[in-house]
C-alpha cells in the first residue's frame, strides 16, 4: 500500500510505467469530506508525537476506549488558509487520477465504504478474488459531528459557510 504523500505523485511517470509493466491494479481511496480528512490527519500527526495510548502511536484502533482517547485531541485548524488548503487537497487527488489514468484502477471513497455494503464486493470483483464477507476490527475514531472534534469550530464554520465547502461542515455518516 502506498499513500500519495509517499512520493507517488512526484515520481508518477516511473511508477505508472512500473505498474503497467507489472500489471499492478491501483485502488484510490479518497475522502469526500476533505475537512474530516484534515481533522484525521491533524489528530494522527499529533498522536505520532504525543503517543496518547500507553506511549505508542496508533493510526488505527481496535477498541472504543482507544478511539475515545485519540478523539479527545481537538486540533486547531488554520482558518486563514483553510479554503486554499482544501483546494490543494482536492487538486492533489485530481492530479493523482490524471497521472495514473493509464493504469488499471478503481476509485473508492471512504464514506461509501462506510455507508454502502456493496462497495467491498466491487473491490473484490475489481481484484478478481472470490466474493467473501469481509469484516474489520478497526473502530472509527471521530464519530459524530465535526464540531465535537475541532477546537476552533466557530472560526472554521464561519470560514466555510457560503463556500463550495460548506457541506463539509454537516456531512456525517
Residue 172 included in any domain: no
Number of domains in the chain: 1
Q: Cα separations (Å) of 27 from 56, 89, 92? A: 29, 18, 16
Residue 36 included in any domain: yes
- In this prediction, residue 54 has a pLDDT band, given cuts at 50, 70 and 90, of low
Residue 9 included in any domain: yes
What is the reported pTM?
0.84
Domain that holds residue 20: 4-167
Residue 106 CB burial class (10 angstroms; 0-12, 13-18, ≥19): middle
Residue 70 included in any domain: yes
Residue 160 included in any domain: yes
| pLDDT tens by residue, 33-53 | 999 999 988 888 776 776 666
pLDDT in the model for residue 67: 77
Residue 173 included in any domain: no
Instruction: Pull the grid cell for residue 64.
Output: 472504543
Amino acid at each position: 500500500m502506498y499513500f500519495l504523500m509517499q512520493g507517488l505523485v512526484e515520481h508518477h511517470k516511473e511508477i505508472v510505467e512500473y505498474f503497467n509493466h507489472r500489471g499492478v491494479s491501483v485502488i484510490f481511496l479518497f475522502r469526500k469530506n476533505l475537512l474530516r480528512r484534515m481533522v484525521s490527519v491533524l489528530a494522527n500527526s499529533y498522536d505520532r508525537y504525543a503517543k496518547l495510548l500507553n506511549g505508542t502511536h496508533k493510526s488505527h484502533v481496535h477498541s472504543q476506549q482507544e478511539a475515545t482517547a485519540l478523539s479527545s485531541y481537538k486540533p486547531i485548524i488554520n482558518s486563514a488558509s483553510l479554503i486554499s488548503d482544501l483546494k490543494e487537497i482536492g487538486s492533489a487527488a485530481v492530479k493523482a487520477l490524471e497521472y495514473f489514468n493509464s493504469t488499471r484502477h478503481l476509485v473508492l471513497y471512504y464514506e461509501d465504504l462506510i455507508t454502502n455494503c456493496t462497495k467491498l464486493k466491487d473491490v473484490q470483483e475489481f481484484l478478481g478474488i472470490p466474493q467473501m464477507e469481509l469484516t474489520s476490527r478497526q473502530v472509527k475514531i471521530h464519530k459524530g459531528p465535526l464540531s465535537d472534534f475541532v477546537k476552533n469550530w466557530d472560526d472554521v464554520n464561519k470560514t466555510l459557510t457560503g463556500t463550495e465547502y460548506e457541506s463539509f461542515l454537516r456531512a456525517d455518516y
